């Protein structure tokens, strides 16, 4: 197995007091220097007034409520889009909107965002106001078409803006030019949550709730959706996002959340009382995303909107089935991709800095997942394309920390104006489309741009860890302490440690996972470990010692709990 180089986090001096030495070290290495930064109460949430365009947005919404307008939510087809759509529906209904509906474009028929084509579909429903959630900042033509049809548009988004902004009636996006909001890392669901906070404040000020005989809604009831969308979209967990996620997790653990979230957790064999942010990201998020990848995200939104637990459970099981289909498709695609990779220089070589793959059998709903897997496996930026029904190639890109992938695509588009039809995204993930004839030219331009950015070097093949744990620290109590010290996630990573172990035994389970029994030191107790999706074909089961990068976990099986190491990287030692 090709192990990564280990780099250990350095913890600066801090003013943290009253914590264990281990937690002090972990928090400090993540930039926490004061105990007040660990206060994740709602009172520390950044105020909505810092968002550019929030005033225009609330006046637009107030007018729509007063006119009893038809408000149509147009969402994205992933978990962030689904939670954003559900939150907007529920919050607006709670605030007395006369008619609210939603529309999620089929990604295969209409592409991404508020395209002119999806506006035509929307127009058939006669909306007075369209609200985009988790999309719209790049929808220049779509917004123009809506305005020509007499439909007002409120764009709420978090993606990076292009050179031209849509001429919407209002735009709320912390990443639009001139916005001074403290957290640029809000997910789409976080943005619409802030818009609803501002709207409630404006309605209260106008006397709306009293005049309509409505109870003022407690928007904290929607924090379960905010937590789910934020974690599933893998946005950085800065302090503001950590507050949103922590508060949402608390509601879920207490059973005060949407029945659909409970049902999706149980479909993944997780009990709500003990969930962590990782469960939202790896259990609930993929089941929601599967609907948008393979079929229609409406099923995911309806699951989140369901008030009846039985109905939610039925839809959650359907989503679970779709997710299994997605896994099967992804496994086939991964095998095809690995066969293609055999013709590509080894990851250690600088001969090729990025991966650009296309296969006629690739499913366009799963190319993002495959790009992510290849990026992790080869430690290079990866772009994977599939052919759409129109014959155009739809690509999904995933990157490494050294390469801002959206800016990379922007540079390619500037140097080759006719090559990329459209693109958008973030530093680590992006989407694009181009003609089939342009694939070879794009692959060449992609490699040239990476060479320009990286020079003679290649992305560092490194794993950042929190150092070693003593054998006496490998306990259930330590695992529980770390679990409760979250939420952990992108930008605020769950603690991982490295160390050398005596290998007592190992075996392959489910054909792709390694189950291990390890001893941290000659006189230390045995500890269970598992390495998911390991390179089992190249595993040397005869080795006596190994080096592992791992995190502590508590495995619960048949009401019994035991310590388990979740291994992310391992290598035999001579």
Q: Per-residue DSSP letters for 480-531?
A: HHHHHT---BTTBPPP-EEEEEEEEEEEEETTTEEEEEEESSTTSPPEEEEE
CB 156 within 8 A of CB 188: yes
pLDDT, tens digit (0-9, with 9 covering 90-100), for 385-402: 999 888 899 999 999 988
Residue 346 has pLDDT above 60, yes or no: no
The tally of domains found in the chain comes to 3
List the domain range (segments joined by +) for residue 385: 344-454
Joined tokens for residue 366: 């799963």
Same domain, 531 and 404: no
Residue 476: predicted pLDDT: 95
* Distance separating alpha carbons of residues 525 and 86, to the nearest angstrom: 49
Same domain, 414 and 474: no
Residue 328 has pLDDT above 70, yes or no: yes
* Domain assignment present for 278: yes
pLDDT, tens digit (0-9, with 9 covering 90-100), for 349-376: 456 789 999 999 999 888 988 998 899 8
Joined tokens for residue 292: 């948008």
Same domain, 302 and 356: no
pLDDT grade, residue 36 (50/70/90)? confident
CB 366 within 8 A of CB 293: yes
* Distance separating alpha carbons of residues 66 and 56, to the nearest angstrom: 15
The Cα-based distances of 443 to 77, 425, 446 in angstroms read 27, 19, 5
For strand 170-172 and strand 382-387, is the pairing parallel, antiparallel, or unpaired?
unpaired
N residues, the chain: 574
Give the domain-ending residue among 423, 454, 485: 454
Q: Quick one: angle between helices 239-253 and 259-267, nearest 10?
A: 80
Same domain, 255 and 117: yes
Residue 218: predicted pLDDT: 97
Give the domain-ending residue among 420, 454, 488: 454
Mean pLDDT for 464-470 is 94
The Cα-based distances of 258 to 196, 227, 251, 481 in angstroms read 18, 12, 10, 28
Joined tokens for residue 84: 């954003």
Residues whose CB falls within 8 Å of the CB of residue 401, separated by 6 or more in sequence, listed in order: 428, 459
* Domain assignment present for 39: no
CB 230 within 8 A of CB 222: no
Peptide bond into 487 cis (omega under 30): yes
Whole-number mean pLDDT of the chain?
A: 92
* SS3 at position 397: strand
* Domain assignment present for 325: no
DSSP class of residue 47 equals P
pLDDT, tens digit (0-9, with 9 covering 90-100), for 250-309: 999 999 999 999 999 999 999 999 999 999 999 999 999 988 888 788 999 999 999 999
* Domain assignment present for 106: yes
* Distance separating alpha carbons of residues 115 and 105, to the nearest angstrom: 9
Give the domain-ending residue among 412, 428, 454: 454
CB 48 within 8 A of CB 180: no
Q: Which residue in the block uniquely carries the two structure tokens 């006719």?
A: 418
Phi, psi of 21 (to 5 degrees): -55, -35
pLDDT grade, residue 1 (50/70/90)? very low
What percent of the residues of the chain are helix, what percent strand, and what percent coil, each to the nearest 5?
45, 20, 35
CB 501 within 8 A of CB 43: no
* Distance separating alpha carbons of residues 382 and 376, to the nearest angstrom: 9
- Total-model pTM: 0.89
* Distance separating alpha carbons of residues 79 and 86, to the nearest angstrom: 10
* Distance separating alpha carbons of residues 20 and 481, to the nearest angstrom: 9
Nearest in space to 451 (alpha carbons), one of 381, 519, 362, 348: 381
* Distance separating alpha carbons of residues 221 and 75, to the nearest angstrom: 21
Same domain, 411 and 285: no
Residue 296: predicted pLDDT: 80
Other CB atoms within 10 Å distance of the CB of residue 250: 16
* Domain assignment present for 11: no
* SS3 at position 32: coil
* Distance separating alpha carbons of residues 274 and 163, to the nearest angstrom: 45
Q: Which residue in the block uniquely carries the two structure tokens 């640029």?
A: 184
Residue 364: predicted pLDDT: 86
Same domain, 403 and 538: no
Residue 347: predicted pLDDT: 47
Same domain, 471 and 423: no
* Distance separating alpha carbons of residues 248 and 246, to the nearest angstrom: 5
130 forms beta bridges with: 72, 153
Residues whose CB falls within 8 Å of the CB of residue 351, separated by 6 or more in sequence, listed in order: 345
Same domain, 350 and 485: no
Report the CATH number that the domain containing residue 494 is assigned in CATH.
2.40.50.460
Q: Which residues in 104-146 belong to E strands, given as ranges?
A: 129-133
Phi, psi of 302 (to 5 degrees): -65, -35
Same domain, 433 and 549: no
Does the CA dihedral 83-85-88-89 come out positive or negative? Answer: negative
Report the CATH number that the domain containing residue 438 is assigned in CATH.
3.10.310.30
Return the half-sphere exposure (C-beta side, CA atoms, 13 A cut-off) of residue 436.
9
Same domain, 449 and 399: yes
pLDDT, tens digit (0-9, with 9 covering 90-100), for 139-158: 999 999 999 999 999 999 99
Same domain, 444 and 516: no
* Domain assignment present for 331: no
* Distance separating alpha carbons of residues 144 and 236, to the nearest angstrom: 32
Q: What percent of the chain has pLDDT over 70?
A: 96
Same domain, 292 and 355: no
* Domain assignment present for 108: yes
* Domain assignment present for 156: yes
């Amino acid at each position: 197995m090709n192990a990564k180089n280990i780099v250990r986090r350095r913890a600066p001096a801090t003013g943290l007091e009253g914590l264990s030495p281990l937690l002090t070290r972990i928090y400090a290495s993540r930039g926490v220097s004061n105990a007040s930064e660990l206060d994740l109460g709602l009172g520390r949430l950044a105020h909505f007034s810092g968002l550019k365009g929030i005033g225009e947005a609330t006046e637009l919404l107030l007018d729509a409520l007063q006119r009893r307008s038809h408000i149509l939510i147009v969402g994205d087809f992933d978990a962030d889009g689904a939670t954003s759509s559900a939150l907007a529906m529920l919050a607006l209904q709670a605030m007395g909107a006369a008619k609210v509906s939603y529309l999620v474009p089929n990604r295969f028929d209409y592409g991404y965002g508020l395209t002119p084509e999806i506006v035509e579909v929307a127009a058939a429903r006669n909306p007075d106001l369209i609200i985009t959630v988790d999309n719209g900042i790049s929808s220049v033509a779509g917004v123009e078409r809506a305005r020509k049809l007499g439909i007002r548009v409120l764009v709420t988004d978090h993606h990076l803006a292009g050179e031209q902004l849509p001429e919407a009636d209002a735009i709320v996006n912390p990443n639009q030019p001139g916005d001074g909001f403290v957290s640029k890392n809000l997910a789409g669901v976080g943005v619409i949550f802030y818009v609803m906070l501002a709207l409630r404040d404006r309605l209260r000020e106008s006397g709306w709730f009293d005049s309509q005989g409505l109870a003022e809604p407690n928007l904290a009831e929607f924090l379960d959706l905010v937590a789910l969308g934020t974690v599933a979209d893998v946005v950085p967990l800065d302090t503001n996002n950590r507050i949103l996620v922590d508060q949402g997790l608390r509601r879920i653990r207490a059973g005060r959340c949407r029945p659909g979230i409970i049902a999706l957790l149980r479909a993944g064999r997780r009990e709500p009382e003990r969930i962590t942010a990782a469960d939202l990201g790896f259990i609930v998020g993929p089941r929601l995303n599967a609907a948008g990848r393979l079929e229609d995200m409406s099923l995911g939104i309806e699951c989140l909107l369901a008030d009846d637990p039985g109905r939610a459970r039925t839809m959650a099981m359907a989503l679970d089935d779709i997710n299994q289909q997605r896994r099967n498709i992804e496994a086939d695609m991964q095998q095809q991709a690995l066969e293609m990779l055999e013709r590509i220089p080894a990851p250690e070589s600088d001969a090729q800095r990025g991966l650009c793959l296309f296969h006629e059998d690739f499913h366009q709903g799963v190319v993002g997942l495959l790009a992510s897997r290849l990026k992790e496996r080869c430690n290079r930026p990866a772009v994977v394309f599939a052919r759409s029904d129109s014959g155009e190639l739809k690509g999904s890109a995933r990157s490494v920390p050294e390469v801002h992938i959206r800016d990379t695509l922007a540079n390619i588009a500037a140097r080759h104006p006719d090559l990329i039809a459209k693109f958008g995204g973030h530093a680590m993930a992006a989407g694009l489309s181009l003609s089939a004839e342009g694939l070879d030219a794009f692959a060449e331009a992609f490699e040239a741009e990476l060479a320009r950015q990286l020079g003679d070097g290649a992305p560092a093949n490194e794993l950042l860890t929190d150092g070693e744990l003593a054998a006496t620290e490998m306990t259930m109590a330590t695992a529980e302490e770390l679990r409760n010290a979250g939420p952990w996630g992108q930008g605020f990573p769950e603690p991982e440690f490295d160390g050398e172990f005596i290998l007592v035994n190992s075996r392959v389970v489910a054909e792709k996972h390694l189950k291990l029994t390890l001893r941290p030191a000659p006189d230390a107790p045995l500890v269970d470990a598992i390495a998911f999706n390991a390179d089992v074909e190249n595993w040397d089961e005869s080795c006596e010692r190994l080096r592992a990068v791992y995190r502590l976990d508590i495995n619960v099986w048949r009401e019994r709990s035991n310590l388990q190491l979740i291994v992310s990287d391992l290598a035999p030692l001579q």
